[in-house]
Amino acid sequence: MRASLIQIAVNEDETVEARRLRAAALVGEQAGADLVVLPELWTTGAFAFEEFDAAAEPLRGPTYEAMAKAASDAGVWLHAGSIPERDADGRLYNTSLVFSPAGDLAASYRKIHRFGFDKGEAVLMGAGREPVTVTVPDTTTLGVATCYDLRFPELFRALVDAGAEILVVPAGWPERRQSHWTLLAQARAVENQAFVLACGTAGTHAGVPQAGHSIVVDPWGEVLAQAGAGEEVLTVEFDPGKVARTREQFPALKDRVLGLAPPRG
Ligand SMILES: NC(=O)CCC(=O)C(=O)O
């Protein structure tokens, strides 16, 4: 499988429309890849909270249309990152879109863990409730999660229980916590014996420099490739069959003890 992670720069000197066109062109350049991934909230920037309302779009809005076309033009599975989605009741969600090579919507996922504690995304957006997997016929199953979700291992375990072998994590992770990003991506890969494809943004928006450093980790926890800080397309080839081999040779997932009693004391 060949995967390309598009670590696009999100800076304030570019309009959303211009960045959407640029993202579509970058996806077009990845024809020949099996899977292409864009980051979280790349239209506005994950920390541009004051832009969310104005830039919010319906699920099948301009970003959906542009990315569906980009996926079918390039003939790739496209995890198009996330958009600020406005639902029919006017509520906002941080919603990821995954397209098949025919340009059909294969899945959408509303981010479950919202970042910001008592401000920003955590108050401006609603929380998703449903973990989501996507079956790539005859190949593998993707489990999707978004940015801050990376800190919550129980979500990833639920995805693995549903058959996920490749965990795809679009993000807008800040430079300040770059060490957590790399560590958590490796931890989610090792504990779940799965590939982790984590795609961040470059650039600076709302005064928050982005970490970049998109990363691909194999089921043994080895880093197969990692980007630098700037805009970059990180391309990596790997064998999804390594998940089954790793789980067979080192069957730790089979040793889980479920339903533990509460701790004594
Ligand atoms: N957009 C996000 O979810 C940011 C997450 C983050 O900065 C962190 O977990 O640290």
Note the ipTM here.
0.99
Q: Say how far apart CA 55 and CA 70 lie, in whole Å.
A: 20
From residue 101, alpha-carbon distances to 36, 61, 146, 224, 253 in Å are 10, 19, 22, 25, 32
DSSP 215: E
What pLDDT, in 10s, does the model give residues 33-73? Answer: 999 999 999 999 999 999 999 999 999 999 999 999 999 99
Pocket residues: Cβ below 6 A from ligand 1? 40, 46, 115, 147-148, 151, 172-174, 177, 180
What pLDDT, in 10s, does the model give residues 167-210? Answer: 999 999 999 999 999 999 999 999 999 999 999 999 999 999 99
Q: pTM for the whole thing?
A: 0.98
Supply φ then ψ for residue 252, to 5 degrees: -65, -35
Output the residue whose Cα is nearest ligand 1's atom 8: 148
What pLDDT, in 10s, does the model give residues 71-124? Answer: 999 999 999 999 999 999 999 999 999 999 999 999 999 999 999 999 999 999
- Pocket residue to mutate for ligand 1, from 94, 173, 184, 213, most atoms within 8 A of Cβ: 173
**Which residues are known to be catalytic?**
40, 111, 147
Band (230; pLDDT cuts 50, 70, 90) = very high
Closest by Cα among 142, 6, 125 to 71:
6
Closest by Cα among 37, 84, 70, 28 to 214:
37
Please report the pLDDT score of residue 62 as a whole number. 98
Please report the pLDDT score of residue 232 as a whole number. 98
